[in-house]
Amino acid sequence: MRCFVRAKIHGITVTDKSVDYHGSVSIGKDLLRAAGIDPYERVEIVNLTNGQRWATYAIPAPEGEFTLNGGGARLGENGDRCVVMAFDFKAQFGPEPAQVVFCKAQAGKNVISEVTEYRASA
């Protein structure tokens, strides 16, 4: 089995951080739904601003929010742009496409600017 990307939220902006929380990242329910990421699912985070990368799990938050919690709060700052990815183990990529959600910051929240898919090449 190989590990393939299954879902991705690209360009999500950190809206808050909480070192005192027990861990995870809080992601707006709208963004989780659009990407097909389930609450409490393992995700990998890449901070595009500073290059940090870590694995944690996603918890649902109010729409448009993206909060770094626990130790992950030390890996970014408010306003940093990130990528959230979920993966799946299977023999090959496809036939189901990977869902990709692109975000932009608007009025202090993350809004969906585009939804597309990664598909296996023919």
57 in active site: yes
Of 18, 26, 40, 57, which one is the catalytic site residue? 57
Of 18, 24, 40, 121, which one is the catalytic site residue? 24
What separation in angstroms does the CA of 44 have from each of 17, 108, 122?
Answer: 17, 23, 28
Cis peptide before 60 (omega within 30 of 0): no
26 in active site: no
Residue the block writes with tokens 């393992």: 42
Q: 86, 81, 54: which is closest to 66 by C-alpha?
A: 81
Query: CA 118, CA 110: separation in Å to the nearest integer?
Result: 22
Q: Which residues are catalytic?
A: 24, 57
